[in-house]
Each structure stands twice: as structure tokens, then as C-alpha cells.
Amino acid sequence: MTGRVLLLSDTHLPVRARALQEQVWRMVDEADVVIHAGDWVDVALLDELEARARRLVGVAGNNDGPELQQRLGEVARVDVEGVRFAVVHETGGATGRERRCDARFGPASDAPADVLVFGHSHIPWDTVCASGLRLLNPGSPTDRRRQPVGTVMTAQVDAGVLREVTLVPTPH
């Protein structure tokens, strides 16, 4: 069976944008699982995504208040068709990221993952650690910072394998 996954992070609503783009909402509707790696800012988006997504997995970020922190926590985990995802907001600076993430979420950790989804930088990232742990940051659909456009990621999971990871531009 195939699972369609949408990766989001750093939406910062309504501070950086009033709402998610219709393009992103269409991807929410098409996804089997929506993963949000923090910095929602307003609990209203969490409520809206919970109501609309088939399945939502998320964490709180450094810009999220007490209600979001309490409802979401700092680490989330989900198995999608045999692929183990872990989700956090921050992983620290780019230098040494693979080593740090591998130690915390790789095969030798207490709770290994196959894929770590993270946010915070608003900069898309897709690398594979020496152990095979895949690191994915979808960027931000609403606050592009130094990127040419906002972004999200989509992926397919099929028979325990992550396939077709795609960075999708989300222009306003």
C-alpha cells in the first residue's frame, strides 16, 4: 500500500501570512499523513489542520506558546506504511547536523527512526546520514526568508520505502 505524506514547517500564522495558500490546502486534502515540524504560532492552524487532515502529526516550535507546547510536545513519532518518522523543530546548526541527529535518532539510538523531519531554519534540507537516517526540512510555505519562494515537501511511502521526496514551491 502507498502512503502520501505532506511535510510542513514554520507556517508562522497569522504573523508571516494570514493563511496557508490554497495550493497547500489541496495537498493537505490529498495526503494520508500531514507532518508539521513546528512554529505554528497560533493554535487556530492546529485546530484547522486536525479537522481537515486525514492524519496529523506535529510538534511545537520555539515560537509556539504554552497551549501548542502542551498539545504537541517537542518530539513526535509516526509509522507510515513501515517507514518510521521522527519529528522535531530544531536540530541545531548545519555543521555537525548529521552526526547529532544520527546519535539521537539513528539506528544505534534508543528509539531509531528512518526519517527525521525538522524545521526552524526555513531552509529546505534533504540529506542522508552515514547510517541511512534521512533528514528532511520542508522549509516554510509562508516565510521564505532567504529562499526564492516558500516551500513544502511531499513524499510517497511504499512497502516500507520512502520514495519520491519532492520539494514543492509555494508562491503567494
Q: What distance in Å separates the CA atoms of residue 62 and residue 74, rounded to the nearest whole number? A: 10
Give the per-residue pLDDT at 172: 66
The answer to whether residue 100 scores a pLDDT higher than 70 is yes
Q: What average pLDDT does this structure show over 68-74?
A: 97
What value does the CA radius of gyration of the chain take, rounded to a whole number of Å? 15
Q: Identify the H or E element spanning 35.
A: strand 33-36
When pLDDT is cut at 50, 70 and 90, the band that residue 144 belongs to is confident
> In this structure, which CATH number among 3.60.21.10, 3.40.50.300, 3.10.450.50, 3.40.50.12280 belongs to the domain 2-169?
3.60.21.10
Please say whether the dihedral angle defined by the alpha carbons of residues 146, 104, 136 and 90, taken in this order, is positive or negative. negative
This prediction's pTM: 0.96
When pLDDT is cut at 50, 70 and 90, the band that residue 134 belongs to is very high
At 134, the amino acid letter reads R
- Structure confidence by residue, pLDDT tens digits, 153-162: 999 999 899 9
Average pLDDT, the chain: 95
